[in-house]
Amino acid sequence: MSKLSTMSSADTVSNVHETEHSSVNWRDYVAISKTGIVMSNLITTFAGLYLAIYYTGSTLLDNALTALLTLVGSAFIIAGGCALNNFVDRDIDHLMERTKERPTVTGKLSGRQTLAYGLAISLAGTALLAAASLMAALIGVIGLLIYVVLYTMWTKRTTTLNTIVGSFAGAVPPLIGWAAIDPGLHPYAWSMFLIMFIWQPPHFLALAMRRSDEYKAAGIPMLPVVAGFALTKRQIIWYIIALIPVSLLVANFGMIYTVAAVLLGGGWLALGLVGYRKKDDLEWATGMFVYSINYLTIMFVLMVIVHMF
């Protein structure tokens, strides 16, 4: 599909809507920044940062400025990526229920405004990360390019492997946090990256099942759309099985963490298997999706807590 043609048509639609929505306020920019995604990623960024501080024998107070630069910079570059995602997808967002009210669809923000904001805040985030650590900035830029170019502009519309490609970008926040303190990136940092990388496919495939009709209408080849629910459910189960041993790569974090990782991973697997043959696939997918959010949050918060005492 030609990006130029789709973007031109999107701008035409946007310009029509702008006659109806002439006022733009900060809430429109917050909406395209996807603050929920930003906040969840900041949890994993902070986990990487805090653990790097711990294992380098420093303190959070001694690194207060670096921590602030890292968290704000990460928030900006993630928000910038989300805004650029909105810019690219504005030609199909009106076809999906969950995206049809985005300011880029309703016309509250034009394509030019969205692009300018996305680039500006991404550059600001990169500068802040560079002030903390050049390695953190490099990782942030790599994650941004993977998300915007390789995922949003290319694989999202061409292959079911889009979920895997997106997972690379989604797994970089703990690396950014760690690199801000220790650019050498201890194996623990890469283990946290791998946990997030393996976690994302079952999380997003469950979401894709819930929104399969919308993805189909938008022409996005998510696995449930192309291969059906049965194969997607098997893939989700296999990813969760793989995640359990991967989460134990950092078993040195202590017994509390290790037990919690086994119980949380085992609970997710049990939830998937118990309801595997349910006739209501969407109910199954919803349960798996909600559990995945709680799993990631608890795991990374726990990584920090067990190193506090």
Query: Domain with 162 in it: what CATH number?
Result: 1.10.357.140
Q: Same domain for 132 and 216?
A: no
CA distance 267 to 274: 10
Could you give the number of structural domains in the chain? 2
pLDDT of residue 1: 36
pLDDT of residue 5: 40
CA distance 42 to 19: 37
DSSP structure string for 176-237: HHHHHH-TT--HHHHHHHHHHHHHHHHHHHHHHHHTHHHHHHHT---HHHHH-HHHHHHHHH
Q: Which of 185, 209, 230 is the last residue of a domain?
A: 185
Q: Which domain holds residue 214?
A: 187-309
47-84 burial, b if ≥16 CB within 10 A, otherwise e? bbbbbbbbeeeeeeeebeebbebbbbbbbbbbbbbbbb
pLDDT of residue 246: 97
Q: Same domain for 152 and 271?
A: no
Structure pTM?
A: 0.88
Q: Same domain for 262 and 286?
A: yes
Q: Which of 161, 185, 209 is the last residue of a domain?
A: 185
pLDDT of residue 12: 43
Q: Same domain for 168 and 281?
A: no
Q: Same domain for 71 and 124?
A: yes
Q: Which of 185, 208, 243 is the last residue of a domain?
A: 185
Q: Same domain for 19 and 101?
A: yes
Task: Please report, in tens digits, the pLDDT of each residue of the chain (309 residues total).
Answer: 334 344 444 444 444 444 344 466 788 899 899 999 999 999 999 999 999 999 999 999 999 999 999 999 999 999 999 999 999 998 888 888 888 888 888 888 888 999 999 999 999 999 999 999 999 999 999 999 999 999 999 999 999 999 999 999 999 999 999 999 999 999 999 999 999 999 999 999 999 999 999 999 889 999 999 999 999 999 999 999 999 999 999 999 999 999 999 999 999 999 999 888 877 899 999 999 999 999 999 999 999 999 998
What's the gap between Cα 77 and its chain centre? 12
Q: Same domain for 204 and 236?
A: yes
